[in-house]
């Protein structure tokens, strides 16, 4: 006896559709999980473009555009021949000096920029061998406490960057996002500081320090004022503080703007 198996055409179409979806998912997953993170594997510096100096080995010319780059060991020599390139991320957990292949080259970060606490990081060399750094609007950056960054070139921030270390820049342009200077952190811009993002684009928290050579940038300075201790039966406790504008040529009223019960009376 012969047995005939009849399959409905809808069942067959559904089967092949599911198989196509599985193949598509596998292909997409394989593409996304390709090795796009490259870790510098030396401690004595060397050429950025040498394929074997990275783990895994890079294509010819060093990490391609869109890569995540990690430098996780202290370098006794410079990492040289850094090209103009756009990276998804740059994570630095070891002391290093990045020297461009040509003065004026630019590193652009579109995803994550992270420098761990206590690290010394230098971009470029004084003179004509500058290395510019751009953080795009999609970038989130963190500079840890005790970090020292020296940059010979122009630093352009359009993302959200929080500085808790000591940063010296040749020049700084803030186009969008936020550049936050945390308490205890220092930012020294040797030449021009330009803030095109308004008062929210540059924020100096209480205890933070900013020094710049030229420019008329706007920004927000946060000063913490402790509560008074006299008249403990009052709510909030009453007391007196002597305050003055922390910026020259600025009136008290322009700096201390109190509109709620956090400070009952201000005499300017």
| Per-residue pLDDT tens digits for 148-198 | 999 999 999 999 999 999 999 999 999 999 999 999 999 999 999 999 999
Of 135, 97, 95, 133, which is closest to residue 115 (Cα–Cα)? 95
Q: What is the pLDDT of residues 53-80, one digit of tens each?
A: 999 999 999 999 999 999 999 999 999 9
Q: What is the pLDDT of residues 9-31, one digit of tens each?
A: 454 455 444 544 444 434 333 33
Q: Please state whether the peptide bond connecting residue 252 to the residue before it is cis, i.e. omega within 30 degrees of 0.
A: no
């921030």: which residue's tokens?
157
What is the model's pTM? Answer: 0.75
């Amino acid at each position: 006896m012969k047995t005939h198996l009849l399959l409905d055409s809808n069942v067959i179409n559904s089967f092949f559709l599911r198989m196509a979806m599985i193949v598509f998912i596998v292909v997409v997953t394989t593409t996304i999980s390709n090795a796009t993170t490259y870790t510098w594997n030396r401690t004595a510096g060397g050429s950025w473009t040498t394929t074997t100096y990275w783990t895994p080995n890079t294509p010819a010319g060093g990490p391609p555009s869109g890569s995540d780059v990690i430098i996780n060991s202290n370098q006794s020599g410079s990492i040289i021949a850094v090209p103009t390139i756009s990276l998804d991320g740059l994570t630095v957990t070891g002391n290093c000096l990045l020297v461009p292949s040509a003065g004026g080259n630019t590193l652009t970060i579109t995803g994550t920029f992270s420098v761990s606490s206590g690290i010394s990081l230098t971009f470029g060399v004084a003179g004509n061998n500058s290395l510019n750094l751009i953080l795009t609007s999609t970038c989130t950056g963190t500079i840890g406490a005790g970090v020292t960054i020296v940059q010979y070139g122009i630093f352009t921030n359009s993302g959200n960057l929080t500085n808790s270390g000591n940063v010296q820049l040749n020049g700084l342009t803030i186009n969008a996002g936020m550049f936050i200077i945390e308490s205890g952190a220092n930012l020294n811009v040797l030449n021009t500081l330009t803030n095109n993002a308004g008062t929210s684009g540059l924020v100096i928290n209480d205890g933070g320090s900013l020094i710049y050579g030229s420019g008329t940038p706007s920004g927000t300075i946060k000063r913490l004022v402790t509560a008074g201790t006299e008249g403990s039966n009052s709510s909030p406790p009453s007391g007196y503080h002597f305050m003055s504008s922390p910026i020259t040529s600025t009136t008290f009223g322009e700096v201390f703007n109190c509109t709620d019960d956090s400070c009952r009376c201000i005499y300017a």
